[in-house]
Amino acid sequence: QVRLAESGGGLVQAGGSLRLSCEVSGRITSTTTMAWYRQAPGKEREMVAVMGSGRLSYGDPVKGRFTISRNKAMNMGYLQMNNLQAEDTAVYYCKTYVFGRGVWGQGTQVTVSS
């Protein structure tokens, strides 16, 4: 019913910026809540940011550096990442909810060189 596709990952030097995008497609093209997660090698997946239904929240490691946003049509989500550090290296996933069930994208790799 819905598919998510992330883009915008890549290699960046420490202190640099990247903007990730997440496109919602399929039979349902707009969703209320969108979240970004990340998973570094050997670590558990962690929440980075979530927005929707009156909620706006960031994980402690990214507060003040990352910003989550949506477009008006609610079919795109974005994660602006500033002042990236080596510890931000991970695969980044977007997630939304359809009828209460979580739907994940395939992920995009972000690598920060120090």
User: Over the stretch 63-91, which tens digit does the pLDDT of each residue have?
Assistant: 999 999 999 999 999 999 999 999 999 99
* Per-residue model confidence (pLDDT) at position 1: 81
The C-alpha atoms of residue 83 and residue 62 are separated, in whole angstroms, by 10
* Per-residue model confidence (pLDDT) at position 53: 84
Positions in the chain whose pLDDT score sits under 70: none
* Per-residue model confidence (pLDDT) at position 87: 97
* Per-residue model confidence (pLDDT) at position 100: 87
| 11, 12, 48, 95 from 88: Cα distances, Å | 11, 11, 10, 18
